[in-house]
Amino acid sequence: MKAMNMISKSLLTGLILMMSVGLYAQDPVKVASNVYKKVVLDNEKVRVIQVEFAPGEVAPWHKHPTHVIYVLAGGKIEITDKGKKPMEMELKAGDAMYMAAVTHMAKNVGKTTIKLVVTEMKPAHKMINGETMKKEVPAKM
């Protein structure tokens, strides 16, 4: 009985450790030839992504929900929002920006590697009969 209890506890501990490693130690994703993206947290409320752009690299068209950007290492970046002209901006370490949902592309037009933390907000959810549902937004009149 004692051995069976010990084996059960060991298996449960191993299962928990395997699941937690999958949640928090995610592999970096190569978005372009020298643009890296690593998801460091993803849950029902937010997704936090670490991004690095080498000089001259482009992140192709992609979408973000409402998000916040924190600059770890700055540089010069060109952002092109869907349907708009490109806009160049200088990012400085320590800058933080709140951004509305967007479809855009980005290019590092400077001489330094840009490092960012992007925190995407997910839509609010509510529980109905024990199931998670997206929060309905009332129609505008």
Do residues 77 and 53 touch, judged by C-beta distance below 8 A? Answer: yes
Q: What is the pTM of this model?
A: 0.67
Domain boundaries, the chain: 27-134
pLDDT-wise least confident of 5-9, 14-18, 123-127, 135-139: 14-18
CATH class belonging to 27-134: mainly beta
Instruction: Quote the pLDDT of residue 22.
Output: 38
Instruction: Quote the pLDDT of residue 119.
Output: 95
| Phi then psi dihedrals of residue 138, to 5 deg | -60, 145
- State mean pLDDT over 76-98: 96
Instruction: Quote the pLDDT of residue 27.
Output: 45
Provide the mean pLDDT of the chain: 78
- State mean pLDDT over 117-132: 77
Residues in contact with 20: Cβ distance below 8 Å, sequence separation at least 6, in sequence order: none
